Every structure is written in C-alpha cells, then in structure tokens.
Structure 1
Amino acid sequence: MGISRHATAHWEGDLKAGKGQLSTPQSGLLDNTRYGFNSRFGDEKGTNPEELIAAAHAGCFTMALSAKLTEAGFPPTSLDTRAEVDLSMENGPAFSQIRLKVKGVVPGIDAAKFQELATDAEKNCPVSKALSAVPISLEAELAG
C-alpha cells in the first residue's frame, strides 16, 4: 500500500467575484489559505493552482535529485530549485510549460554528471511523471 495525502478546497460565488480557501488538514500547513480569480490572474494576496503545482514540483524534483546524487556517491551539500509553471489562455486555459532551474553545491561531481543525474531526477520524480503532458525544461548548474 502506498501513501495517501489530501487537501481540501472550499469555494463560494461565481468565478470572478467568488473566493475560496485551500486547506491541508493532515499537516495543517495550509489552513484556509485564500485563493481566487484575482490571486490567480491578478495581484491580489492569496495563492493559486499554478503556484502550488510549482511548489510541489520543485520539492519533489529536489528530493529526487538528492536521492540520485547520494546513490551515485555525491551527497549534496545543498540544492536550490525554482519551478515556473506557465498558464496559457490560448484555446482555453492550459499549462503550457514548466521550467525547473536547480543550482547545487555537490562536492566531487563534475557538471556533466550533475546534469545527467538532474535529468534522470526530472524524468522520474512522481510530480514530473504526473505532469508529463506539459513540456518540462531543466537547467542544472553547479555552484562555485
């Protein structure tokens, strides 16, 4: 049996004027976090699905890369990942691209091996697999 996690969403009102709250009851980390049309398409305070998917992807990929590096004998000192999720409005809203940018401090590894392991982690982390219908690009850079 695998691991199961959940989140909840509550919404009131129509799309543009309505407001919602997202919660993660198991961890309590998101507790009635606001989201809505203007936090998604404007600059109102609150979160949005693209930001949450970017956070999930950055976290999953970074953990997968840490595992790959450690398995290869190069445990990382640090990894910093930025995930950018683009939402296109052409032909209806859809994710059009995801960009992963990772910078690592990894003693003893060369840039080619770091890129190889980063590419493997990107292809095989569960969030990348779930988002495989969206083009995903990767930039991997060693610090120092």
Structure 2
Amino acid sequence: MVDVASLLARARNAGYRIATAESCTGGMVAAALTDIAGSSDVVDRGFVTYSNEAKQQMLGVSAETLDRVGAVSEDVAREMADGALAHAPVELAVSITGIAGPGGSEFKPEGRVCFGLAKKGQVTTTETVEFGVLGRARVRRAACDHALTLLARALS
C-alpha cells in the first residue's frame, strides 16, 4: 500500500504537479490523492474519461487507435497519459483503462487493466495487469492502488 502523503511530499519536493486520466476507476486515484490535506499544490486535475468520446475530446485519444485496438489497451493508456500531460500544466500523469467487470471476453477478460505513466522529458511507459475476476469493487481498488504505486515509483 502506497503512503499517499509521502508520495505527495516527494512530488512537492521535486516541484512536480500531477494529473490523472481515469476510465474504469472513475476518479478514484484523484480522490485518493486529494484525500490528503494540502494536496492542491501537487494535484492539478483528474480527467474521468469513461466513454471513448470523452477519451477523444478531453485527452486527444485517436479514434483510429480506439477502432484498431479498443479502449482497453496499452496504446490507449499511452495516449491517455500523454493527453493528460499535454492538456494540464503538470510534469507527471498516470492513466488507467480496463475492464472492472462484470463481463469481459476471451480476448479482454474481466480484471484486465492497462496503465500509462507520462513524465515530462521521458518516454511514456505502459503496462497491463491481469487482476483476475475479483469483482468490480476489488478490481477498481487494486487498479487505483497500482496507479498510486506507479506514481510513487516515478518519484523515487
């Protein structure tokens, strides 16, 4: 479990501001960050882009990418993170897109979540985590925790 207060302190000390770009977590990462008093000097904004249209309008995710690989993909996670970095005055952005459940398919199973991490001046990284069929609430919580871990690592 990430110590969010410590994460925010490290960002503050580094002069970093943070944005989130969330789909399946619906703003949980932004909420976790802003639960800490004084976070407003580090957290700039959270984009909740649940629909593909929102991903395109708010973050500049390409319709072609969405058509080619679908919303739950590392390509879309990359474009979401890059879009958050481009559309906010921040140095660090994390993105999340996945299938919390119930449902999924043999190609994109329930519990699959893709993450992006964009940091000014660095190549954006992505990864996919298969959380499995934990139930909607537990997948969302696990995804939120993982995104916070990615932010903490980026600030180490």
Higher strand share: 1
Higher helix share: 2
Normalising by structure 2, what TM-score? Answer: 0.26
Higher relative contact order (CA 8 A, sep 6+): 2
For the pair shown, the structure with the greater C-alpha radius of gyration is 1
